[in-house]
Amino acid sequence: MACADSQVDLEKIPLVALNMSVRKKLGLYLNPKHTVAADWMALAEAMGFNYLEIKNYEVPKNPTCTVLEDWQARTTDTSVGKLLSMLSELDREDIVEDLRPLIDEDVRKYCANLKKKAEPPLQVPEVDSCVPRTPERSGITVDDDPEGVPEMFDAFICYCQSDFAFVHEMIRELEQTDYKLKLCVFDRDVLPGSCVWTITSELIEKRCKRMVVVISDEYLDSDACDFQTKFALSLCPGARSKRLIPVIYKPMTKPFPSILRFLTICDYTRPCTQAWFWTRLAKALSLP
């Protein structure tokens, strides 16, 4: 196993194990342009990014973090071990040596969380094991039956408050028409009083087949939207299961999020394709 107590196989530890603190420290080493030592551009090239992609990464404030996110999103063949091997091949043993204790600590925490999730729940005679009744799985939505099967949805809608008018239009077009899809809209469907992050993770991972991401300038400034998007991407590396569907409904002044640029966009801003917009979106959400 990757997280065996005796020896951890870093080649099998996904990149998601590295937290933001380590990624930012990598940026401190790799973001500055060097004439001698390999920088973030050399790492991006080793990861398989082409020249135009690398040039676009010059825009973000922390290109190293952006490259790591995109590498993680575009393929399942990523790991902590591969990252360390690339740095060694680029003669950046200084980074490996300096950050290895922090990386090992992140890996230890990741393995501990995996082990905790794998442990069977405590059983008592009064609890029916066929229907888990933890707070995360029952009584969290308006139509949940705490004594029955959790409410399920066709899609979780990731949006910020300023885009709520478009979410209303989405409800009309997808739920109140012949498509009869069932959307999970947080402000409408989720009961108040529980941890937002716990509920959101439960809904995205176990209750919703897909997630529609409403992209706008305001979305880019939303911590909640950022968490939801990255969590959903971690469930389907490389977007192989078509789990995420980005939607643009109004012009943007800020750059489109690089972490989603490998996904096909449903664009409502183009008048010539608006007639097909809802049909395309509905069929994508209706896939098994």
**What secondary structure, in 3-state letters, does 138-186 show?**
CCCECCCCCCCCCCCEEEEEECCHHHHHHHHHHHHHHCCCCCCCCEECH
Distance CA 250, CA 96 (A): 44
For the chain, where are the E strands, in sequence order?
153-158, 183-184, 208-215, 244-248, 266-267
For residue 122, the model assigns a pLDDT of 53
DSSP 8-state secondary structure symbol assigned to residue 190 = B
Token couple for 15:
């990149």
For residue 120, the model assigns a pLDDT of 57
Quick check: helix, strand or coil at residue 194? coil
The one-letter code for the residue type at 282 is A
Residue 196: which residues within 8 A CB-CB, separation 6 or more? 224
Q: Could you give phi then psi for residue 128, rounded to 5 degrees?
A: -80, 110
For residue 132, the model assigns a pLDDT of 45
In this structure, are residues 106 and 17 in contact, taking their beta carbons and an 8 Å threshold? yes
Q: Could you confirm whether domain 153-286 is CATH 3.40.50.10140?
A: yes
Distance CA 259, CA 256 (A): 9
Q: How far is CA 249 from the centre of its chain?
A: 21
> How long is the chain?
288
Per domain, the residue ranges of the chain are 10-118, 153-286
Fold assignment, 10-118: Death Domain, Fas (1.10.533)
Distance CA 269, CA 266 (A): 9
For residue 94, the model assigns a pLDDT of 92
In this prediction the pTM is 0.55
- Residuewise pLDDT in 10s, the chain (288 residues): 556 555 778 888 888 888 888 888 998 999 987 667 899 999 999 999 898 888 888 887 788 988 888 888 777 778 899 999 999 999 999 999 999 999 999 888 888 877 776 665 555 444 433 444 455 556 789 888 767 778 899 999 999 999 999 999 999 999 999 999 999 999 999 999 878 888 999 999 999 999 999 999 999 999 999 999 999 988 876 555 668 999 999 999 999 998 898 899 999 999 888 899 999 999 999 988
For residue 35, the model assigns a pLDDT of 65
Token couple for 11:
């080649």
